[in-house]
Amino acid sequence: MADFHVPGYVGKVLRVDLSGNKITEEKLDEPILKKWVGGAGLAAKYLYDEVPPGVEWDDPRNRLIWTTGPLAGSGVFGAATFNVTAKGPMTNLAGCSQANGYFGAYLKFSGFDGIIFQGVSPKMVYLVIKDGRAEVRDAGHLAGKDVWEVEDQVRKELGVREREVSVYAIGPAGENRVFHATIVGDRGHVAAHGGVGAVMGAKNLKAVVVYSGKRNFEVNDPEGLKAKNTDLFEFAKTFGTIYQWGSGGGFSTLYAMGALPVKNYTTNLYPEHEKMNGQYMRTHFKMRPVPCYQCRIAHVKEVTVTEGPYTGFMGEEPEYELLAAWGPQIGNADLGAVVMLTKEVDKLGMDCNEGSWVVGWAMECFEKGVFTKKETDGLDLTWGNAQAVKEILNWISRRQGYLGNLLADGVMRASQKVGGPAADWAIYGLKGSAPRSHDHRGSTRWYELFDTCLTNTSSIESTWGGIHPKLVDMQEPTDHFSHEQVSTFNAKYSGIRLFDDCLGTCRFASPHPKLQLECFNAVTGWNWTLEDAFTVGRRIVNLLRVFNFRHGMNIEDEKPSKRYGSIPGDGPAKGKNIMEKWAWMVENYYRLMGWDPQTGKPLPETLEKLGLKELIKDLK
């Protein structure tokens, strides 16, 4: 590839046909990269081109696409993120998810901007990539092992130390095609959403290993990048609580807003919140930094529990979503138990969000007599019983027994199978995705509830960590419970976060879109504006939307479940009703997005404006 000189890129994608154990390389060119950038954008293009209507998520013709971006490995702090895209089981539509750690940088150092997996291996295998060469190896001896065991075993086999390679794998959940299975690596970093781990399991692919190395691509303006990177880091230090207290630092603030999920949305009261937040953890438990690749924010910590029944237990510090998932959502007030359950769910390879919604729903069913000890095989599923939750997570990961198999398909399908009043207690968007671990009925979270229901990625698409309009020169909404302002803001903000998912950066380390764009321009030399970034993001949104329509998406499913869209009965958001004008919100959003307000389909002029004219015929 000596003739390839697009700064920020290696210029190659690896294609692995698992059915025939055939590995090939494909070149990338600058026009494709300028149109799709990398990460979620490049992956969306491959998904659309290669997965036609009629191909289901577990079909050998489905693709599992791993892509990184131009900033990964460039020297931008913490830039080693990669994207995983596939048609996934949670929605049976397009699913995109990102993970941090080391893999995104190491993949480029190993010679590739991405990997496309297709077919199904006749036996369980793993892939090793080093110095531009790739090899499929037998993984029969890794079958049934959890992710941490796989990491240890693979490193031992290869004779390498911890950071010489990055290993991402599926646990028992992926092997058993649990719909909310994840891909986990680098000791607790997770591509968590859409069921991408189940797709990997359906392909009989246990793990992917990439070696470290030196930067093997150009940076257009190294000195300019150094200066812009410093500016980005200085801003990230002041952004929220991440630098000092981790993502759990906002836990009690969310409680004050009525945005903390408590006992499956049956209440908003959780007086124990101050002993569950990041401030308490970092001042009472033993912490050790274990940062991602070249990350100066270093918010990732190893934690040792120092009090309570789990004293001495060691794991990764739970992010906010894990604190909420295994704390208030399941009625647990023991922070040590959260550390234990966080490690357990990661080892098994399951999404903490979906896992906690489905377990919380099962606990409510147990409390109200829908499930008895007959259905739970004697397990006591009372609120806060952490050991029972650990047991049921293991059952789910192996589809063990009635309850394990039921909950393995996620909260929407489980609740629909049980039916009756219990069907109304489940929290999810009707496309099949459960929300992130918040009570989105609370203040400033209607944006994320709306986003979760209208997403084209099987996870949030427009928003992240609330809303941040000032960072992209937009006006702050004045009423966070205004149906008009919420739907209008989501439409205007749409695109910038999917552009972010193209770059190979971590949002905690790179939270300012304009400063991040300056780093992007220093690396690529493209001199893009903020509007250019928004355009790429909107192009991806519309491409995925057309993909989803072709694969059976129904706009009647763009709404929350009954409980998810319910009116809070207590707490700061008591009496607020998002469903009062839901249909109007959706129509307003469609119109502002350039979609037909009745069908939700992108209008021909919208697709043409975004450089997607060729898709117009696919919507007819």
What pLDDT, on the 0 to 100 scale, is given for residue 191?
Answer: 98
Tens digit of pLDDT for each residue in 329-369? Answer: 999 999 999 999 999 999 999 999 999 999 999 999 999 99
Q: Which residues of 608-617 are buried (b: 16+ CB within 10 A; e: fewer)?
A: eebebeebbe
Angle, helix 39-50 to helix 530-550, in steps of 10 degrees: 30
CB neighbour class for 226 (10 Å; exposed up to 12, middle 13-18, buried from 19): middle
φ/ψ region of 161 (left if φ > 0, alpha if ψ in -120 to 50, else beta) reads beta
Statement: residue 382 has pLDDT above 80: yes
> In order of start, what are the domains of the chain with their CATH numbers?
12-211 (3.60.9.10), 259-425 (1.10.569.10), 446-510+529-619 (1.10.599.10)
**What is the CA angle 389-392-395, rounded to 5?**
155
What pLDDT, on the 0 to 100 scale, is given for residue 432?
Answer: 98
Task: State pTM to two decimals.
Answer: 0.98
Average pLDDT over residues 62-74: 98
Return the CA Rg of the chain.
23
CB neighbour class for 129 (10 Å; exposed up to 12, middle 13-18, buried from 19): buried
Tens digit of pLDDT for each residue in 197-220? Answer: 999 999 999 999 999 999 999 999
Question: What's the Cα-to-Cα distance from 483 to each of 447, 454, 572, rounded to whole Å?
Answer: 10, 15, 18
CA 323 to centroid of chain Cα atoms:
16
Average pLDDT over residues 10-27: 97
Residue 129, beta-bridge partner list? 134, 210
Can you give 330-359 as a three-state secondary structure string? HCCCCHHHHHHHHHHHHHHCECHHHHHHHH
What pLDDT, on the 0 to 100 scale, is given for residue 153?
Answer: 98
Average pLDDT over residues 562-568: 98
pLDDT band at 1 (very low <50, low <70, confident <90, very high): very low
Statement: residue 613 has pLDDT above 90: yes
Tens digit of pLDDT for each residue in 266-312? Answer: 999 999 999 999 999 999 999 999 999 999 999 999 999 999 999 99
Count the neighbouring beta carbons within 10 Å of the beta carbon of residue 234: 12
Count the neighbouring beta carbons within 10 Å of the beta carbon of residue 280: 17
| Cα 415 from Cα 406, distance rounded (Å) | 9
Torsion of CA 542, 545, 550, 554, to 10 degrees: -150
Helix (H) / strand (E) element for 133: namely strand 133-138
Tens digit of pLDDT for each residue in 136-185? Answer: 999 999 999 999 999 999 999 999 999 999 999 999 999 999 999 999 99
Percent of the chain with pLDDT over 70: 100
| Cα 129 from Cα 14, distance rounded (Å) | 10
Mean residue pLDDT of the chain comes to 97
Residue 135, beta-bridge partner list? 128
> From the DSSP assignment, how many helices (H) and strands (E) are in the chain?
23, 15
Count the neighbouring beta carbons within 10 Å of the beta carbon of residue 87: 28
Statement: residue 600 has pLDDT above 90: yes
Helix (H) / strand (E) element for 390: namely helix 386-397
pLDDT band at 5 (very low <50, low <70, confident <90, very high): confident
What pLDDT, on the 0 to 100 scale, is given for residue 465?
Answer: 86
What pLDDT, on the 0 to 100 scale, is given for residue 4?
Answer: 72
| Cα 322 from Cα 342, distance rounded (Å) | 6
Q: Compute the residue count for the chain.
A: 620
pLDDT band at 3 (very low <50, low <70, confident <90, very high): low
| Cα 137 from Cα 125, distance rounded (Å) | 5
Question: What's the Cα-to-Cα distance from 161 to each of 152, 154, 155, 302, 604, rounded to whole Å?
Answer: 10, 10, 7, 18, 53
Average pLDDT over residues 213-242: 96
User: What order do you get walking across the sheet with 205-211 strand by strand?
Assistant: 133-138, 125-130, 205-211, 165-169, 183-185, 189-191
Residue 198, classed as helix, strand or coil, is helix
| Cα 545 from Cα 551, distance rounded (Å) | 10
Statement: residue 113 has pLDDT above 90: yes
